[in-house]
A and B are shown apart, each in its own frame.
Chain A
Amino acid sequence: MFKKLIKSLSSLRFTIVLISLLGVMFIIGLWVPQISLVKGLYLEWHRNSPNLVAFLDALGLTRVYTSPLTVTLWFFFFLNLSLVIRQRIPLVRHRISLSSKNIVDPEKAAGYSFSRSFLLPSGVGGGSIISLLRKKRYTVLGDADGFYGVKNRLSPLAFLIFHLSFFLILLGGVISVYTEFIGYLDLAQGETFRGEAERYNASPLPKFPSFGSTPAATFTVKSIEPHVIGNTPTSIDVRLLDSEGRSHVAGINIPYKTDHTSFVFKHLGVAPLFTLKDPAGVVLAENCVKLDVLQHKPDRFSLAGCNFTATFYPDYVLEQGKRASRSMEFNNPMFFISVERDGKKIGEGLIPKNGRLEFAGYRLEMRDMPYWVRFYVVKQRGLSVLYSGFALATIGVIWRLLFFKRELVGRVREKNGEWFLLVAGRSEFYKKLAEDEFVELLEKIIGKAVKG
């Protein structure tokens, strides 16, 4: 019973069933909005179809990649893989073994799909054929009376490397998930971060690690320079100064890395320094407000009881009486601001960089317009294990499928005063390709004198 169970669990049929089921789960994940990926869409859907969503929630299909069913499938996948590897080890050992038993008569060799006989030209003997095969990177046993040649003998080991790499990827993945800290951090030009946990954005909530600590980085954002051509952001340079006075540049594709932590650039915004003055010119409030306005969406802020709605135009122009931006380049930055107090609109107007807006006797001045950036902060360990898994998977698959094993058995025989080389050959995967290769190889060694 137990043996039968192990046999079923280690069968390739079971692997295929598991992979197919995992594929089905992934496809479900593409169609059913996932909480972890598209939370906004999920919540909207939840409002529209609460019963259906509750049902799918109960089945775990709205968190399909981490649902108990998927985890169980992964568990069985790796169990199956372990059993397959265990089963295959003796076979691999047998396949890479080299012994005189491999020398068989080419005319009676079982499993060798290719067989030919070549008329040997004068001066070419068995010894020279064997040494030429060795030059072609064949390992050869035996002599002219019977030899066995093998190329890429150790290729079956690549099977183990490729499949073991899955475990490294799994291990790296598990370590990274359990040691992972994830948080979003908004920093404006001139701000210093000292690793304070409370500085991370409240929404989305930071994810704290099950094992390990939060990032311990300390740095100041010295400058933020976005570069835009037309409507395409072409680069951004975020210059950081760490606690030891060293300068670093972060940007798109270039995270700032320290202490197993990556500060990945995610988002850019403007952080204008606004000063609100009363009719007598007394400063009521002054603040550098981080506004998320670069995606053509208005953002809100409050100063001294006034509520402001700001729309930003990086390259302001008035087109047919309407406010617009020629491009996303910061050529003529301009805010359109609408002001409310106690729910009543009390003013609106344009305010350029270093300009002012007068409303209801008040004055709003914009004294500077630096930028702010949102970093996606992720600290995790195990990446080196994971990347080693990737490297081994690549090496394993290339080695196994490109440098596959080729075997030749042969002997030199005399018939009617002429000397013939009889050979039989086989390869692991590509029969026709190997046959062509054998013919080409032997023709190179012996010449064109080929007999059927």
Chain B
Amino acid sequence: MAFWEIIFYWVTLVIYSLAAGGFIYSIVFKNPRVLPRITLLVACGFAAHTSTILARFFATGHLPWSGHYEYVLMGGWFIIAGTLFVGLQNKSLRGLAVATLPLVIIMMGYGYMQNPGLTPMAASLKTVWLYIHVYFAWISFGAYALAMSAGALYLLKSRSDGLPVPNPAYEKYPSLDRLDELIFRYVVFGFITDTIMICAGAIWAKNLWGSYWAWDPVETWSLISWLIYGITIHLRVTFKWREKKLAWLAVAAMSTVIICFFGVNLVVNTSLHIFQVR
């Protein structure tokens, strides 16, 4: 890792951890007043996160596209960018960070334990398809993470609303109706970008490996994930699944994405998508 990259990396992790702690505090101690300050803290962490990426870019000469560490560094950036963006559009959505921050912290910690060394761009990654495929993978992952967050928030808020004295910390969050629709919108956004990601990946695979589809474990799992989100959309549109059912589905479906991105490579060593520099 480059010198400034290490510094900014740890600053990012510390700020994100403080902010995650703040969100948990605001819910447990029923104190919604601290939310704007925590959001500001997340924004500071995001600035440090961006600086980490820039420091690495100046050290390697390319954006962090390869290897587990680079993958989670950039993927985490997209998730936090998405969280801040939707929070900026709608203040009541700032609370989505309560679920996305811990996810990003775990991802970054995991990435750090993998291969954070500075490496040149591998030949297999020198193609325009990398940018299209990986960019859409990141934004679909980010959208699914936001859907999962909105789902978790829905479940927490609906439980709180059922109590004799609802937790005031949830008052700052969107209404259940709006959260319900948000879950669906993020799933749709993720599904569209996921479709583009899979199509772009197939075209790239044809050039790189000679086969557009090889039933590689990551390919297969991304198809499973795509089918699960496709089912989610059908269940919502046709069977009118909403509210708690949809929220649980959004939370559970995220597991397929996590398995696709991280889990497969933990248990299978035959994948062509090893996310490592070769």
Which A residues have a C-beta under 8 Å from some C-beta of B?
12, 15-16, 19-20, 22-23, 26-27, 29-30, 34, 36-38, 41, 65, 173, 182, 227, 229-230, 232-236, 251-255, 262, 264, 266, 376, 378, 383, 386-387, 390-391, 393-394, 397-398, 401-402, 429-433
CB of B28 closer than 8 Å to a CB of A:
no
Q: Which of B196, B214, B217, B238 touches A12 (beta carbons < 8 Å)? A: B238
Q: A12-B238, A16-B231 are in contact. Are A394 and B127 (CB under 8 A)?
A: no
Are A30 and B227 neighbours in the complex by a CB distance under 8 Å? no
What is the minimal beta-carbon distance from A84 to any residue of chain B, in angstroms?
Answer: 10
* B278, A430: Cβ atoms closer than 8 Å: no
Q: Which residues of A contact B237 (CB under 8 A)?
A: 429
Known interface pairs A262-B206, A264-B208, A383-B206. Does A38 touch B124 (Cβ–Cβ under 8 Å)?
A: no
Residues of B within 8 A of A34 (CB): 215
A266: nearest chain-B partner, CB-CB:
B210
B245 within 8 A of A: no
Task: Say yes or no: A253 contacts B207, CB within 8 Å.
Answer: yes
Please, could you name 24 A-B residue pairs with CB atoms under 8 Å apart, sorted by A?
A: A12-B238, A20-B231, A23-B224, A23-B228, A26-B221, A29-B220, A227-B123, A230-B119, A233-B122, A233-B278, A234-B122, A253-B126, A253-B129, A253-B204, A383-B206, A383-B212, A387-B203, A390-B202, A393-B195, A397-B195, A430-B181, A430-B184, A432-B177, A432-B178
Which of A65, A227, A232, A430 is most buried by chain B, counting CB atoms within 10 A of its CB? A232
The residue that B123 contacts in the complex, of A15, A19, A234, A387, with Cβ under 8 A, is A234
Closest Cβ–Cβ distance, residue B241 to chain A (whole Å): 11
Q: B192 an interface residue at 8 Å Cβ cutoff?
A: yes
Give which listed residue, B126, B199, B223, B227, contacts A390 with CB less than 8 A: B199
Measured CB to CB, the closest approach of chain B to A435, in angstroms, equals 10
CB distance from B186 to the nearest CB of A (A): 11
CA of A65 to CA of B217, assembled, Å: 12
B120 touches A (CB below 8 Å)? yes
Smallest Cβ-Cβ distance to B218: which chain A residue: A30
Q: Is the CB of B126 within 8 A of A394?
A: no
Taking A26-B220, A30-B220 as given, write out 12 further A-B residue pairs in contact, using a Cβ cutoff of 8 Å, ordered by the A residue number. A19-B227, A23-B228, A27-B224, A37-B215, A41-B270, A229-B120, A252-B124, A253-B123, A253-B127, A253-B208, A390-B199, A429-B237
Instruction: Across the interface, name the chain A residue whose C-beta is closest to B272.
Output: A37
Is A253 a contact partner of B124 (Cβ separation < 8 A)?
yes
Query: Does B3 belong to the interface (CB within 8 Å)?
Result: no
Assuming A255-B210, A429-B184, is B126 touching A235 (CB within 8 A)? yes
**B199 & A264 in contact (Cβ 8 Å cutoff):** no
A232 and B277 contact, Cβ closer than 8 Å, known pairs A30-B217, A254-B207: yes
Residues of chain B lying within 8 A (CB to CB) of residue A252? 123-124, 126, 208
Q: Are B192 and A232 in contact (CB under 8 A)?
A: no
- CB neighbours (8 Å) of A266 from chain B are 210
| Neighbouring A residues of B221 by C-beta, 8 Å | 26, 30
Q: Which residues of A contact B126 (CB under 8 A)?
A: 234-235, 252-253
Is B58 located at the chain interface by the 8 A CB criterion?
no
Q: Please indicate the chain B residues that have their CB under 8 angstroms from the CB of A233 in the complex.
A: 122-123, 278
Q: With the chains together, A251 CA to B216 CA distance in Å?
A: 22
Majority SS at the chain B contact face: helix
B227, A23: Cβ atoms closer than 8 Å: yes
A158: min CB distance to chain B, Å: 12
B185 within 8 A of A: yes
Nearest-CB residue, chain A, relative to B180: A432
B191 on interface, CB distance cutoff 8 Å: yes
Assess whether B163 is interfacial by the CB under 8 Å rule: no
Which residues from B are CB-within-8-Å of A430?
181, 184-185
In the bound assembly, the distance between CA atoms of A429 and B186 in angstroms comes to 13
B48 at the interface (CB under 8 A from A): no
Across the two chains, which residue of chain B brings its CB closest to A253? B127
Closest to A19 in B: B227
Decide yes or no: A401 and B192 within 8 Å by CB, A252-B126, A429-B237 being known contacts: yes
Closest 5 CB pairs of A and B: A264-B210, A390-B199, A252-B123, A376-B210, A253-B127
B203 A390 Cβ-Cβ under 8 A: yes
The answer to whether A15 and B234 have CB atoms under 8 Å apart is yes
Indicate if B209 sits at the interface (CB-CB under 8 A): yes
Tell me, in angstroms, the Cα distance from A378 to B206 when the chains sit together.
Answer: 10
> In the bound complex, what is the Cα–Cα distance between A232 and B199 (angstroms)?
28
Q: Report whether B215 and A65 are in contact in the complex, using a CB–CB cutoff of 8 Å.
A: yes
Least CB distance from A162 to B in Å reads 9
Nearest A residue to B182, CB-CB:
A432
Please indicate the chain B residues that have their CB under 8 angstroms from the CB of A227 in the complex.
123
Q: Please give, as numbers and ranges, the residues of chain A lying within 8 Å of B178 by CB-CB distance.
A: 432
Q: How far is the CA of A121 from the CA of B200 in the complex (A)?
A: 52
Name the CB-closest residue of B to A390: B199
Asked if residues B210 and A234 are in contact (CB atoms below 8 Å), the reply is no
**Would you call A433 and B185 a contact (CB within 8 A)?**
yes
A373 CB to nearest B CB, Å: 13
Kindly list chain B residues whose C-beta atoms are within 8 Å of the C-beta of A22: 227
Contact of A16 among B204, B217, B234 (CB under 8 A): B234
- In the complex, whether B165 has a CB less than 8 A from a CB of chain A is no
Residues in A whose Cβ lies below 8 Å from that of B268: 30
Chain B proximity of A41: nearest CB distance (Å): 7
Check B209–A264 contact: CB distance below 8 A. yes
Closest A residue to B208 using CB positions: A253
CA distance A20 to B199 in the complex (A): 22
In Å, the complex CA distance between A255 and B227 comes to: 31
Q: Is B121 an interface residue (CB 8 A)?
A: yes
Contact assessment for B181 and A431 in the assembled complex, using a CB-CB cutoff below 8 Å: yes
Q: Which residues, 149 to 183 on B, are CB-close (under 8 Å) to A?
A: 177-178, 181
Given contacts A27-B224, A41-B270, A232-B119, whether A255 and B277 have CB atoms under 8 Å apart is no
CB distance from B81 to the nearest CB of A (A): 20
CB distance from B254 to the nearest CB of A (A): 16
Q: Knowing A23-B227, A253-B126, A429-B237 are in contact, say whether A38-B270 is a contact too (CB < 8 A).
A: yes
Chain A residues with CB below 8 A from B124, complex form:
252-253
Query: Within 8 Å CB of B239, what residues of A?
Result: 12
- Residue B188, interface by CB 8 Å: yes
B211: Cβ under 8 A from any A Cβ: yes
Contacts of A37 in B (CB 8 A): 214-216, 270
Most chain A CB inside 10 Å of its own CB: which residue of B206, B233, B239 = B206
Q: Are B195's CB and A394's CB within 8 A?
A: yes
Q: How far is the CA of A393 from the CA of B278 in the complex (A)?
A: 32
A393 touches B208 (CB 8 A): no
Residue B105 lies at the interface, judged by CB distance under 8 Å to chain A: no
Q: Which A residues lie within 8 Å of B230 (CB)? A: 19
Distance of A34 from chain B, by nearest CB (Å): 7
